[in-house]
Amino acid sequence: MRTVVLTMKASVIEMFLVLLVTGVHSNKETSKKMKRPKFTVPQINCDVKAGKIINPEFIVKCPAGCQDPKFHVYGTDVYASYSSVCGAAIHSGVLDNSGGKILVRKVAGLSGYKGSYSNGVQSLSLPRWRESFIVLESKPKKGVTYPSALTYSSSKSPAAQAGDTTKAYQRPPIPATTAQSVTLMQLLAVTVAVATPTILPRPSPSAASTTSIPRPEPVGQRSQEMDLWSTTTYTSSQNRPGADPGIQRQDPSGAAFQKPVRADDGLDCKIDLSFLIDGSTSIGKRRFRIQKQLLAGVAQALDIGPAGPLMGVVQYGDNPATHFNLKTHMNSRDLKTAIEKITQRGGLSNVGRAISFVTKNFFSKANGNRSSAPNVVVVMVDGWPTDKVEEASRLARESGINIFFITIEGAAENEKQYVVEPNFANKAVCRTNGFYSFHVQSWFGLHKTLQPLVKRVCDTDRLACSKTCLNSADIGFVIDGSSSVGTGNFRTVLQFVTNLTKEFEISDTDTRIGAVQYTYEQRLEFGFDQYSSKPDILSAIKRVGYWSGGTSTGAAINFALEQLFKKSKPNKRKLMILITDGRSYDDVRIPAMAAHLKGVITYAIGVAWAAQEELEVIATHPARDHSFFVDEFDNLYQYVPRIIRNICTEFNSQPRN
């Protein structure tokens, strides 16, 4: 019996070993077959922008004919992701116009991109962009697997369109450099993990940021006030301590905000408006509700719609989050319903971080931003911010955003030691004349701001920070004062400069004007920072005296770059308008190229004996839009509308970040 059992055990073991060896052999054969899948290079069209492709690194094949100027490219060597991938490949020299394969690698965004002319492609300058890329020859790294199919950014998911503040799930990246076997149990474990919803933690009230300072609360002060508010009804004769006289206690329905408010008749109220609301822990639930009541009142008063104002809401605490963008709700009723559903996030009061978030993310075409409507941000602050706002606000203003501040219940005398940035509201707004800021002594008085706020945000003529082609440049005139011009014609040239200048909005924060006159030598007539009003600039132009001498245009361009444009403000468009009546005694090619590389958009206007081929070299590409020839000085005035139109057309073609 023992012999039989042993024999059966040996047979079972033998069968197991045979199955094991067969399985291993089968796995080896399967792995050999699956080890090297054939790589197919995806093809793209000339108009595909890098920002539309989610993959961080990929190989693609470009078609022929991508050298066409309609496929815009921004930058040199490192390109903004708003650029055509294939156009950038030609500009960088990796491809020619016949097309081919390239390797694209995403890199971080830059604070500025300089345009240049290279390999038949004129790239454009751009102040800043959120993402960049570089183009390399299609030599794949050893051991790296590149995608055969690209992942494109598509329209937002329904959850995102409805105002979901959480990021959509993205499948975790799988390292392509190592091939590892995965068991069935591991695969099931991953599947279960993916199927399980992730619960995002709420911001902790006590969480401290490395760049923020928590706001201490005086013991008992605010909580005691809330108890009084919840149990006592205040009338005009029985006011809450510290409240505005005559303000009655607000009921939860917010009746004080429901009174109809109308902007003045004839007031065009087509604006793109973002409310930045305070969701910090210190504000409390009741104050947060009053804040929402103000938003609902604004939504009702503005008559939201595609042809008029549009409105979105961002809440900030530790970090900002968009509840809904400009195109989510297209009428006041739906907008008010959405506002009612907003819940408080909690956390600190990081206003500066929130303003930076809005500048970079909110006012985009994808979010419903319209180039024809001014951008307006209304920031609501309970007390004071826990981070600094000045630098973030400056960048917002230079992006054309009109910032309004509503501060409620500011710091008491014994609390001012905790304020991170004194006088923060004046450092943030577009003008410190009171138009852009409201200070409310008590939350009971917040409803009083409704009517003046609506009127101010709708007064588009006074929205001084709206960035347009007429208020966002540093313009340097480079004027030929050679002997061939003559005194009379020189006065005509100055009148031409005056006529152009009159078209722009002049101030220290809008368009600024500078001027250089040249012969053999160069003279700075006045710099960008010398005059900050239109009357002063026009008077300065009139006072420019005729010099007389030779014509060294190349040296004049270099002088203007050093003495004028080197002192230009960051994020300002730099325009050089050069007027000459003859051929230059020196070479203009290298100075002109230097101007183009530094992002200076150059217009060249030639009169009488000016050499047209020199004008085309000096002018920014395409020359047909930036160089002009006039047979007589008296005909210069005819070109003013065309030059202004070209300046604005070029400005409006720039993408808005």
CB 314 within 8 A of CB 354: yes
What pLDDT does residue 418 have? 79
Residues 289, 365 within the same domain: yes
Domain count for the chain, please give it: 3
Residue where a domain stops, chosen among 462, 484, 512: 462
Cα–Cα separations (whole angstroms), residue 500 to 494, 591, 594: 10, 24, 25
In a domain, 596, yes or no: yes
Q: Give the chain's length.
A: 657
| Rounded Cα distance, 408 and 438, in Å | 8
DSSP 393: H
pLDDT tens digit sequence for 31-54: 444 555 567 899 999 999 999 999
Domain of residue 614: give its range.
473-653
Q: Give the least confident one: 41-55, 328-342, 364-378, 455-469.
A: 455-469
Helix (H) or strand (E) holding 565: none
Residues 425, 524 within the same domain: no
DSSP 643: H
| Rounded Cα distance, 476 and 62, in Å | 40
Domain containing residue 577: CATH number: 3.40.50.410
* Sole residue written with tokens 């206007």: 605
The two tokens of residue 282 are 């210190």
In a domain, 221, yes or no: no
pLDDT tens digit sequence for 124-166: 877 667 789 999 988 877 778 889 999 987 543 333 333 333 3
| Rounded Cα distance, 580 and 518, in Å | 10
Determine how β-strand 272-278 pairs with β-strand 375-382: parallel
Residues 510, 589 within the same domain: yes
In a domain, 224, yes or no: no
Q: Which of 348, 346, 259 is nearest to 296 (CA)?
A: 259
Task: List residues bridging with 474 in a β-sheet.
Answer: 512, 574
> Which carries the bigger pLDDT value, residue 121 or residue 433?
121
In a domain, 391, yes or no: yes
pLDDT, mean over the chain: 79
Helices (H), 135-183: 158-161
What pLDDT does residue 225 have? 36
Cβ neighbours for 463, distance < 8 A, ≥ 6 positions apart: 271, 374, 376, 402, 430, 457
Residues 524, 485 within the same domain: yes
Q: Which of 360, 373, 277 is nearest to 326 (CA)?
A: 373
In a domain, 623, yes or no: yes
In a domain, 7, yes or no: no
Residues 505, 410 within the same domain: no
Cβ neighbours for 9, distance < 8 A, ≥ 6 positions apart: none
What pLDDT does residue 182 have? 35
Determine how β-strand 401-408 pairs with β-strand 272-278: unpaired
Query: To 5 degrees, how large is the angle CA 356–CA 362–CA 364?
Result: 125
CB 542 within 8 A of CB 498: yes
> Which carries the bigger pLDDT value, residue 12 or residue 329?
329
The two tokens of residue 389 are 């706002």
Task: List residues bridging with 61 in a β-sheet.
Answer: 43, 101
Q: Where are the beta strands (DSSP E) in 343-501?
A: 375-382, 401-408, 437-440, 473-480
Residues 378, 329 within the same domain: yes
Residues 312, 417 within the same domain: yes
pLDDT class of 13 with cuts at 50, 70, 90: low
Phi, psi of 89 (to 5 degrees): -65, -40
| Rounded Cα distance, 541 and 479, in Å | 11
What pLDDT does residue 127 have? 62
Residues 109, 68 within the same domain: yes
What pLDDT does residue 373 have? 85
Residues 81, 114 within the same domain: yes
Q: Which of 577, 515, 593, 521 is nearest to 551 (CA)?
A: 521
Domain containing residue 99: CATH number: 2.170.130.20
Cβ neighbours for 60, distance < 8 A, ≥ 6 positions apart: 41, 42, 43, 44, 85, 101, 102, 104, 150
pTM of the predicted structure, to 2 decimals: 0.44
The per-type count for the chain, helices as H runs and strands as E runs, is 18, 19
pLDDT tens digit sequence for 449-507: 999 999 999 988 788 676 678 888 999 999 999 999 999 999 999 999 999 999 998 98
Q: Averaged over 533-560, what is the pLDDT?
A: 96
pLDDT class of 399 with cuts at 50, 70, 90: confident
Q: Averaged over 227-231, what is the pLDDT?
A: 31
DSSP 265: T
What pLDDT does residue 207 have? 35
Instruction: Give how far the C-alpha of residue 307 lies from the chain's centroid of Cα atoms, to the nearest Å.
Output: 24
What pLDDT does residue 432 have? 80
pLDDT tens digit sequence for 587-602: 999 999 999 999 999 9
Helix (H) or strand (E) holding 250: none
Q: Which of 406, 327, 323, 311 is nearest to 357 (CA)?
A: 323
pLDDT tens digit sequence for 52-111: 999 999 999 999 999 998 899 989 999 999 899 999 999 999 999 999 999 999 998 887
> 232 pLDDT exceeds 80?
no
Phi, psi of 191 (to 5 degrees): -60, -45
| Rounded Cα distance, 410 and 607, in Å | 62
CB 381 within 8 A of CB 278: yes
Task: List residues bridging with 108 in a β-sheet.
Answer: 131
Task: List residues bridging with 561 in a β-sheet.
Answer: none
> 240 pLDDT exceeds 50?
no
What pLDDT does residue 512 have? 94
> Which carries the bigger pLDDT value, residue 233 or residue 401?
401
CB 354 within 8 A of CB 393: no
Query: Per-residue DSSP letters for 360-377?
Result: IIISSGGGT--TTS-EEE
Query: Per-residue DSSP letters for 474-525?
Result: EEEEEEE--TTT-HHHHHHHHHHHHHHHHTS-BSSSSBEEEEEEESSSEEEE
Cα–Cα separations (whole angstroms), residue 126 to 82, 171, 571: 10, 33, 8
pLDDT tens digit sequence for 189-202: 333 333 333 333 33
> 186 pLDDT exceeds 60?
no
In a domain, 574, yes or no: yes
In a domain, 37, yes or no: no
Residue where a domain stops, chosen among 462, 486, 510: 462
The two tokens of residue 206 are 């006590």
Residue where a domain stops, chosen among 109, 137, 165: 137
Residues 372, 503 within the same domain: no
Residues 478, 434 within the same domain: no
> Which carries the bigger pLDDT value, residue 130 or residue 212?
130
| Rounded Cα distance, 106 and 86, in Å | 14
Helix (H, G, I), strand (E, B) or coil at 341: coil
Helix (H, G, I), strand (E, B) or coil at 122: strand
What pLDDT does residue 237 have? 31
Q: Give the least confident one: 173-187, 277-291, 471-485, 609-623.
A: 173-187
DSSP 349: -
DSSP 60: E
> 304 pLDDT exceeds 90?
yes
What pLDDT does residue 251 have? 39
CB 630 within 8 A of CB 652: no
Residues 292, 369 within the same domain: yes
